[in-house]
Amino acid sequence: MAPHATHIGVSFIVGFILGWAFRVFVKTMAMIAALATALFFGLSYFNVMNIDLSKAEKQYDSGKTWLVDQAGRLKDAVKTHLPSSGATFLGLFVGFRRKS
């Protein structure tokens, strides 16, 4: 029983660290994305630069298809490793919720 419990504990710790790092990453990227969006809208508003989003829409559609496929594969992988994955996702959740 001890090796199995150790594996679950290590999974929780790794998940916690990944969740905390992901939270820091998401906060940073959200701020950078907001600043870039504001800059582009400001330049467009003052007629300095015109933004054409038709190519971005095509990329979004192909990216969405890839993401749905990868999410299905992730679901299958999680189901096969459920006890360890449960502890990892619990650690991710706790780490993501942790205030730094």
What does the alpha-carbon distance between residue 78 and residue 85 come to, in Å, rounded to a whole number? 6
Q: Give the residue-averaged pLDDT of 24-46.
A: 92
Number of domains observed in the structure of the chain: 1
Q: Give the residue-averaged pLDDT of 59-78.
A: 85
Q: How confident is the model at residue 29 (pLDDT cuts 50, 70, 90)?
A: very high
Q: Are 14 and 89 in contact (CB under 8 A)?
A: no
What confidence score (pLDDT) does residue 31 get? 96
State pTM to two decimals: 0.50
What does the alpha-carbon distance between residue 93 and residue 23 come to, in Å, rounded to a whole number? 10
What confidence score (pLDDT) does residue 83 get? 65
What confidence score (pLDDT) does residue 2 get? 66
**Kind plus residue range of the DSSP H or E element containing 82:** helix 82-97
What confidence score (pLDDT) does residue 4 get? 65
The domain of 61 spans 2-97
Q: Reply yes or no on whether the pLDDT at 76 is more than 80.
A: yes
CA angle 24, 30, 31 (to 5 degrees): 95
